[in-house]
Amino acid sequence: MKTILSIALVLLALYLVSEAHAVQVQVQEGDFVFSLESVKKLQELTESSSVNGKQNPHLASTSFASVCANPSLPQEFMPLCMQRGASMSLSRLATMPIDICEICAFVACTGC
C-alpha cells in the first residue's frame, strides 16, 4: 500500500512539473499579445540588424520595416507590422527586458 501511495505521489509531482512548463508567458503591447518566445525572436532579429548594438533612431522605422519583411519573424507580429506606428511598438518589444519578463516582474508580461 505504501509503495502504491509513493508511486502515485511521484507521478503527481511529475505531472505538476510538466504542467508548470506548459504555461506560456504572454507579452502585451497595446491591443496585441505575443508569446515570450516570439518576442525573443524579434529581439534576435533586431539585434542582428543594428550596428554595434546601437540603432540610429532616424533609421528605426526603416529597420523595423526590414524586420517585418524578414521571413524569420514569427507570424503573430504581422498584424502589428500592418499597423501605423508599428515601429514604436516593435521598438518597445525589442528593448523589453526578457529576464525580468521570464519571472513575471514586468507589467507587460502575464501567464506565469
C-alpha 42: how far from chain center: 8
What mean pLDDT do residues 93-106 have? Answer: 79
Considering the entire predicted model, what is its pTM? 0.66
Between residues 62 and 40, the one the model is more confident about? 40
Q: Where are the beta strands (DSSP E) in the chain?
A: 26-29, 32-35, 109-110
The predicted-structure confidence for 16-57, as pLDDT tens digits, reads as follows 555 555 557 888 898 999 999 999 999 988 887 654 445 545
Q: pLDDT over 90 for what percent of the chain? A: 25
Cα distance between residue 88 and residue 86, in whole Å: 5
